[in-house]
Amino acid sequence: MSVDWLSILDAQGNVDESLEPEMDTETLVKFYRTMVLTRMYDDKALKLQRQGRMLTFGSSLGQEATAVGSAFAMKPDDWFFPAFREHGVQIARGIPLSLLYIYWMGSEDANLKLPQKNFPVAIPVSTQVLHAVGAAWAAKLKKQNIASVVYFGDGATSEGDFHEGMNFAGVFRTPTVFICQNNQYAISLPREKQTASKTLAQKALAYGFEGIQVDGNDILAVYSASLAALEKARSGGGPTMIECFTYRMGPHTTSDDPTKYRQAAEVEEWKKKDPIKRLRIYLEKKGIWDQGREDAMIKEISGEIEKAVEEAESYKPEVGNMFKYVYAQMPPHLKEQMDELEGFISKKKRE
């Protein structure tokens, strides 16, 4: 049993011209800028957490091509269901940086302001797969020309929710695109110790639909595979699973110490495959990027990030919101807790 492998842009920035997608300069630069913005957003979040200004955070360092490439293949009307490491998708889909920082600073008020068709972050592993398949099925029943895209990690493919969602999608031919960010570790567990499958993409074959493995550090490959899968889904061709073979260069979250379970030499090898460096080399070879443009872009993004952090830190969350959105009508015990907390806060303010 095997699945296809797609790679277009190698680690040295060389492109396979027979597979190179037709893209204009503006789009390529947009890809690059969004990847760099995602990395700088991520780096700032990590620093804020270390300074005690943000809560636990899951870095996407090294996985920018998977997120940004697939996001730009989507249309605004497509449903998007993230796990907790899809910052690049959220940024590419126009979610303001300040909202992302507000969320990771601990206020779910940010979720109230998400643009339509963008679901909140799912912290439980794999539960969002079921939501995505359900949304896709509804779209199919309503004869809407849209797709549903769900993201998850390699560890999620060993969860029951994943298999239930895949089975349902296969039986009902839902317009779902399953994007697995195989970053080689389920927290500290290596991919090889988690499943005996040769690839994760081949799990789709068991459910009767296509699975493909792509170089997840190659944005051209991720974009091309995602675009094809989405067009197939919207035209009634059913689901696809895309396994993006990538690497988490940072910790699982800010609560993790990866030096306890992986070797520094392994990380150094993957740094040579950095998705941002290879795209920059590609752009330079095409004569559309240079150090001057790089410097100007970094300065612009730095200002954008600092402004977003300032907005996020000045935001005053509404305390009552933590009680309001689990039930359509708040049950008495939650109302009692909310009233007690608001009374306590009012008392403290008077003291």
Cα–Cα distances (Å) from 341 to 15, 18, 318, 345, in that order, read 59, 63, 12, 6
32 is catalytic: no
Give alpha helix (H) positions in 212-331. 219-234, 264-271, 275-285, 291-313, 321-324
For residues 276 and 189, what is the distance between their CA atoms, to the nearest angstrom? Answer: 26
Catalytic hit among 248, 262, 315, 325: 248
Query: 240: which strand partners?
Result: 177, 210
Please choose, from the candidates 184, 225, 203, the residue with its C-alpha nearest in 3D space to the C-alpha of residue 7.
Answer: 225
Catalytic hit among 93, 191, 252, 278: 252
Which element (helix H / strand E) includes 241? strand 240-245
- What is 18-40 written as a DSSP string? TT-----HHHHHHHHHHHHHHHH
Residues near 64 by beta carbon (within 8 Å), at least 6 away in sequence = 35, 38, 39, 88, 219, 275, 276
For residues 188 and 30, what is the distance between their CA atoms, to the nearest angstrom? Answer: 34
252 is catalytic: yes
Asked if residues 242 and 225 have their Cβ atoms less than 8 Å apart, the reply is yes
- β-pairing verdict for 185-186 and 189-190: antiparallel
User: Residues, the chain, total?
Assistant: 351
Please choose, from the candidates 220, 287, 227, the residue with its C-alpha nearest in 3D space to the C-alpha of residue 10.
Answer: 220
248 is catalytic: yes
Cα–Cα distances (Å) from 312 to 104, 107, 108, 256, 308, in that order, read 10, 10, 12, 25, 6
For residues 179 and 63, what is the distance between their CA atoms, to the nearest angstrom? Answer: 13
Please choose, from the candidates 28, 23, 4, 20, the residue with its C-alpha nearest in 3D space to the C-alpha of residue 284.
Answer: 28
Catalytic hit among 261, 280, 327, 350: 261
Asked if residues 179 and 148 have their Cβ atoms less than 8 Å apart, the reply is no
- Active-site positions read 248, 252, 261
